[in-house]
Amino acid sequence: MSALKCGVLLSGSGTNLQAILDQIERGLPVEVVHVLSSRPDAFGIERARAVGIPTTVFDRSVYADPQQADARIVEVMRAAGAEYLVMAGYMRMLTPVVLQAYPDHVLNLHPALLPSFKGAHAIRDAWDAGVKVTGVTVHFANEEYDRGPIVAQRAVPVLEGDTIEALEERIHAVEHELYPQVLRAIAEGRMSMDAEGKVHIHEA
């Protein structure tokens, strides 16, 4: 089985990238062929460079024209041979330029159980709402923010006596497990989408 070739988009520390790289070391059939950062100071770029993954770094000026920026993303990722794009803390909304180049092949990770608590402050919003259960969602990105087809979800309970910091730590731990599991399912051909656009992951 050939490795699934993925390009990773990030904006920050790159902990989800690192989780994927760690699982690749343990046999995950995925190859990260390129990492692109929307910020020059993102530590995720250093993680990629440390293991020899080619990188591209944008700064704020590149996004003056979002469509032109996304055209460059497509160019870079196609040249790298990326079959899927994996958003790992990428804090820019992708335009149709990327989404149409990679239809149903752009994955995003969200720290809540979509469709609840969309947006950039999902953990805080769930905490403030007083929910007893939140979680993690992997979904396909589309032109509506946090509304693409859901690929996988996992619940994370809010515990008695919890702090938001402890909850956030547990959510991130689940992210680091769930994202590689989804990539494995895709690499092994165990993911499908039905005629209604619902995604199914089949047991190995």
State how beta strands 4-10 and 55-57 pair.
Answer: unpaired
Residue listed under structure tokens 């055209």 = 71
C-alpha to C-alpha distance for 189 and 72, rounded to whole angstroms:
29
For 113: left if phi > 0, alpha if psi spans -120 to 50, otherwise beta; the answer is beta
Q: 172 catalytic, yes or no?
A: no
Out of 34, 105, 110, 121, the active site residue is 110
C-alpha to C-alpha distance for 103 and 96, rounded to whole angstroms:
9
| Residues marked as catalytic | 110
